[in-house]
Chain A
Amino acid sequence: MKKTALVLALSCAWGVATNTRAQSTDEKLRILQQEIDELKAQVKSAPQGSAGQQAGGGAGLQGSATTISGYGEFNYNNYKSDTRPTQADLRRFVFGIHHRFDDRLTFHSEVEFEHAVVSKDDEGEAELEQAWVNYKFSDAVNVKGGLFLIPLGILNETHEPPTYYGVERNEVETRIIPTTWRELGVGMHGLLGGSGLRYDVGVTTGFDTGKLDDPSTGVRSAHQEGQLANAHDLSVYGALNYRSRGLLVGGGVFTGNTGQNGASNPALKGVSARLALWDVHAQYKVGGLELQAVYAAGTLGDAEQLNAALGAPGAPVPKSMKGAYVQAAYHLYKRDKLDFAPFVRLEGIDIRQQEDPANGLFQDPNNHERITTAGFNFWVHPQVVLKADVQRYRTDSTKDRFDLGVGYMF
């Protein structure tokens, strides 16, 4: 009897609890549905807002005042000659911080680490590649100031590894145009008339030939990179580039005195040593075919006085330089994010030095060079690329090598 009463009591209690739970769940569902209906009604009746508000309800990222970008590459070079070591190198690791102060005023920067380790006993370098402020009046008129890239060639401004062919950067835009080449200064840039024609003009710091110590790379070793740059002699630049679907045609010029009133070498006081660098370039993409060509040239004045001042045995200064390359690539396989494109590039470099036989200064034969590069880029994602190529140097065959590389950007 007692057992029956107990079972009945438990059954009643269970039934009440179940009923209460069911009611509670139904109630919650009803409230949730009501909230969803109210939200939907609010969305439908919401006024149309600004561009940002409209898309803010979309699936894109919400805008942030500060953004981070980056790129980098790690390379493997296997030389045919035993005179050069086979090496793997974290060539560069770059991150950029960008900030929008308001609708028109922005800040852009890139910090670069080269060769993985930076210390006084290592090869690595840490450097600011860019740090500049831009004020955008409109697409047609931008004013900028700071440390920024000089718009010569194709590679100097667009140098992220997934954007170019070959494990190593091409020689013309390394030895004639000293990529990655930046100067401190002010400039204006913009699109003319809403077309694809972009102009760049400005006044910047220039080279200091008192610091020139490696004529095999043209004037590269004399660029100052914004590091306590001697600024007695400033330089000017100008560039025009037309871009459209698959097409780029353009050119630029940079010129200025480089003696810097003898700031880093007193013997150059009063020596102008005028440098002029210029280039023309083109890129055309149609279907799977990509064609690209660059011609760059330059002159350096007062070469004899520079030779006398610098007095480096066996290293006469360059008085003129020129180089060109043509490149063709074809996208053989493109599916989803995968993209495979073999390429070939033919390059020529001619750096003429101011010889002075009486003082043992002779032209370096390696400054007249022909390079053939053939290989492929394999993008596993539009922003991540695997590369492989072979390079043949006609003059300095100790540089003949096989290269592998991985590059990325974001």
Chain B
Amino acid sequence: MIRARLLALVLGLCAAAQALGEVYQTPEAFVAEVFGTVPAPRVLWLSREVQAGAAAILDHPPANLRQRYWSDGAKSVWILEEIGKEELITAGFVISQGRIDHVRVLAYRESRGQEVRDPSFLKQFAGASLANRDRLDRGIDGISGATLSVHAMERMARLALYFERRSRE
């Protein structure tokens, strides 16, 4: 009887846990949260020059020729993906007047390193802009055991700011 209850409890916990999943927020929901009324998506075409700039930030060439984004004129939203250690991290970046307004991790697929979702970590990006050579204008404190995921978040933050700047040119 006790075993059956224990089994039911474990199965219940697993089912509840499974419902949480690893996608914390869909891009649609994130964009809707930022704008209220979702504007039509726009596209930044990655010319050779833009691709070269993106490659310098990512340390590898961008995989695509266009980047979708959303903008209402005052702020823009960029949904980017980059590999941490083994898996893609999906993050949403809200940019206003050349500075990051806020960042959110929308999906994290690895079994470790989810601490990059920590608000105190993500808060460091708020207000960041690009300085010389498209580096962030500030240092980002890392998280022990999530080094490569932290690096990926930094690269995506720089890329979002870079794309936003190029979209205004």
Binding site for B on A (CB under 8 A): 40, 43-44, 46, 48, 50-52, 54-63, 67, 69, 96, 98, 100, 103-104, 106, 108, 134, 136-142, 144, 154, 157-158, 160, 162-163, 189, 191, 194, 196, 198, 241, 243-246, 248, 283, 285-286, 288, 334, 336, 382-383, 409
- Chain A residues, Cβ within 8 Å of B115: 191, 196, 198, 243-244
A55 surroundings in chain B (CB, below 8 A): 27, 79-81, 88, 90
* Chain B residues packing against A (C-beta within 8 Å): 13-14, 17-23, 26-28, 31, 40-43, 46, 54, 58, 60, 62-64, 66-68, 78-83, 85-88, 90, 106-109, 111-112, 114-115, 117-118, 120-121, 123-124, 133, 135, 139, 141-148, 151, 156, 159, 163
Q: B117's closest neighbor in chain A, by CB?
A: A194
A selection of 25 A-B contacts at a CB cut-off of 8 Å is A51-B23, A52-B90, A55-B80, A57-B43, A57-B67, A58-B64, A58-B81, A59-B63, A59-B64, A60-B63, A60-B80, A60-B81, A60-B82, A60-B83, A106-B86, A136-B22, A139-B22, A141-B17, A194-B117, A196-B118, A198-B112, A243-B118, A243-B145, A245-B143, A248-B144
Partner of A59, one of B62, B118, B124: B62
User: Bound state CA distance, A65 and B120, in angstroms?
Assistant: 31
A409 to B133, CA, bound (A): 24
* Given A138-B18, A245-B124: A57 touches B143 (CB 8 Å cut-off): no
> Is B58 a contact of A59 with CB atoms below 8 Å?
yes
Known: A58-B81, A98-B86, A336-B135. A51 touches B26 (CB 8 A): yes
| A48 touching B27, Cβ below 8 Å | yes
Query: Within the complex, what minimum Cβ distance (angstroms) separates B8 from chain A?
Result: 16
- Do A51 and B106 touch (CB < 8 A)? yes
Nearest-neighbor residue (CB-CB) of A103 within chain B: B22
Task: Determine the chain A residues whose CB is within 8 A of the CB of B163 once the complex forms.
Answer: 59
CA A157 to CA B145, docked complex, whole Å: 8
- Whether A61 lies near B87 (C-beta < 8 A) is no
Contact B87 A134 (CB under 8 A): no
Q: Do B133 and A61 have beta carbons less than 8 Å apart?
A: no
Do A191 and B64 form a contact, CB below 8 Å, given A60-B81, A244-B121? no
Instruction: Give Cα distance in the complex from A54 to B143, angstroms.
Output: 28
Closest chain A CB from B145 CB (angstroms) = 5
Known: A163-B147, A245-B141. A138 touches B124 (CB 8 A): no
Q: Is the CB of A54 within 8 A of B68?
A: yes
The SS class assigned to the A binding surface is mixed
Q: A58-B80, A63-B88, A98-B86 are in contact. Are A136 and B111 (CB under 8 A)?
A: yes
Of B19, B20, B81, B121, which one neighbours A245 at CB under 8 angstroms?
B121
The answer to whether A108 and B86 touch across the interface, beta carbons within 8 angstroms, is yes
List residues of chain B with CB within 8 A of the CB of A59.
46, 54, 58, 62-64, 67, 80, 159, 163
| A311 CA to B57 CA, complexed, in Å | 61
- B146 pairs with A61, CB closer than 8 A: no
On whether the beta carbons of B133 and A336 are closer than 8 Å, the reply is yes
B146: A residues at CB distance < 8 A: 243
Residues of B close to A40: CB separation below 8 A: 43
- A61 lies within 8 A of B83 (CB): yes
